[in-house]
């Protein structure tokens, strides 16, 4: 009787624990966007803090003024980058015929016919696999208006995210001492200094990571720009900048940047001969982008990860894929800093655990 009671109690405890975990998981999933805002706000504060301290020491700015100035730099930079894309959209809208869907479909059918002629001219038999006539008949670009409407509808959400991130960043910097003092008071005496040590180490590592990421963005941008200028692509600066920004998204971003650039390259030369100009130039640009990615993957990224996260590329890949599955592109962006923070905490609190020791040995 006693044993059956103990078993039933154990089952009930297990059930309550599982229900609690489920509720917590659902709650965290429900506020995932807020968690992302907080993480991005913290990362931004790590990058803005050196600028704020420099203004205070060099130009004797008051703390509040220094913080506002440092964040204003990032706000103006963000709006400046956003405004750079206006000429690109305006110039490409004519080629894309966004206001004339029928014209766009006609241009696309002509493009498919040119590809068909080029492949047949080189004795490439592909009709058993792909039917170009069927593709031309099924072309329907009405989805473009739907995409534009969704973009316009998402502007409000983007504005909310933008405001939230900078608002969080401002108060993290402004009340850093207050937050630290309250944190010390709230933390349990037994683990207080372990937690503080973990937070300081996380801050140092993520600061290096954020600055390294900006450096990587600059390197990729310069290399993309060189490739585009060599082949005379219009709006090379803006396209290279967009490609560099997309490169921040691991694995998926470079692919999107490559497809986007190839498409824009074709549009730049849409009125010229397909075989002698459009196709060769597009292929050269694609090869150039591949070379940039080889350099970035073998030099830029390993240096950043080895200096900041000390994680194996396979770890980064798996963590990024899992985060992307759960939270989409935003999850892929925050995966590395979040994973780094978790590793630091595990190493600080469970240094004798064999699995954690193996996982965090490089820290």
How far apart are the C-alpha atoms of 296 and 286, rounded to whole Å?
15
Q: Which residue has the higher pLDDT, 103 or 199?
A: 199
Indicate if the pLDDT at residue 227 is higher than 90.
Answer: yes
pLDDT at 99: 40
Longest dimension (CA), the chain: 89
Please tell me the predicted confidence (pLDDT) of residue 148: 47
| Phi, psi torsion values for 123, nearest 5 degrees | 55, 40
Per-residue pLDDT for 225 more than 80? Answer: yes
Mean pLDDT for 34-55 is 82
288, 276 Cβ separation under 8 angstroms: no
pLDDT at 288: 93
Cβ contact 233:239 at 8 Å: yes
Instruction: Decide if pLDDT at 165 tops 50.
Output: yes
pLDDT at residue 131, as a whole number: 59
Least confident of 27-36, 66-75, 78-87: 78-87
Q: Is the pLDDT of residue 107 over 60?
A: no
2: pLDDT strictly greater than 70: no
Q: Is the pLDDT of residue 291 over 80?
A: yes
% of the chain surpassing 90 pLDDT: 6
* pLDDT for res 296: 87
SS3 362: coil
pLDDT tens digits, one per residue of 51-74: 888 898 888 889 889 999 988 888
* Best-predicted range by mean pLDDT (36-50, 64-78, 292-306): 64-78
Residue 86: its pLDDT value, please? 60
Residue 224 has pLDDT above 90, yes or no: yes
Kind plus residue range of the DSSP H or E element containing 360: none
**Mean pLDDT along residues 93-118:** 56
Please provide the average confidence, as pLDDT, over all residues in the chain: 76
């Amino acid at each position: 009787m006693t044993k059956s009671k103990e078993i039933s109690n154990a089952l009930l405890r297990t059930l309550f624990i599982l229900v609690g975990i489920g509720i917590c998981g659902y709650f965290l999933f429900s506020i995932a966007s807020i968690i992302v805002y907080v993480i991005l706000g913290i990362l931004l504060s790590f990058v803005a803090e050196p600028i704020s301290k420099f203004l205070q020491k060099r130009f004797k700015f008051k703390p509040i003024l220094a913080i506002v100035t440092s964040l204003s730099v990032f706000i103006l930079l963000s709006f400046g980058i956003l405004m750079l894309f206006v000429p690109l959209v305006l110039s490409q809208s004519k080629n894309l015929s966004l206001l004339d869907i029928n014209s766009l479909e006609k241009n696309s059918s002509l493009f498919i016919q040119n590809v068909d002629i080029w492949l047949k001219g080189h004795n490439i038999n592909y009709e058993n696999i792909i039917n170009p006539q069927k593709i031309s008949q099924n072309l329907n670009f009405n989805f473009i208006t739907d995409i534009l409407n969704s973009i316009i509808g998402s502007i409000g959400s983007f504005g909310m995210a933008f405001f939230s991130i900078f608002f969080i960043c401002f108060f993290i910097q402004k009340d850093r001492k207050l937050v630290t003092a309250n944190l010390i008071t709230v933390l349990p005496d037994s683990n207080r200094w372990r937690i503080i040590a973990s937070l300081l180490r996380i801050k140092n590592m993520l600061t290096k990571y954020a600055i390294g990421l900006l450096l990587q963005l600059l390197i990729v941008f310069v290399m993309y720009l060189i490739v585009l200028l060599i082949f005379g692509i219009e709006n090379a600066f803006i396209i290279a900048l967009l490609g560099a920004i997309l490169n921040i998204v691991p694995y998926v971003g470079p692919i999107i940047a490559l497809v986007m650039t190839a498409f824009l390259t074709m549009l730049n030369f849409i009125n010229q001969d397909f075989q002698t100009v459009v196709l060769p130039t597009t292929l050269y640009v694609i090869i150039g982008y591949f070379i940039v990615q080889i350099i970035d993957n073998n030099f830029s990224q390993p240096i950043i990860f080895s200096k900041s996260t000390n994680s194996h590329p396979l770890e980064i890949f798996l963590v990024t894929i899992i985060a992307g599955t759960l939270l989409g592109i935003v999850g892929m962006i925050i995966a590395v800093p979040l994973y780094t923070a978790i590793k630091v905490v595990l190493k600080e609190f469970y240094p004798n655990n064999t699995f954690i020791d193996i996982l965090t040995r490089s820290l």
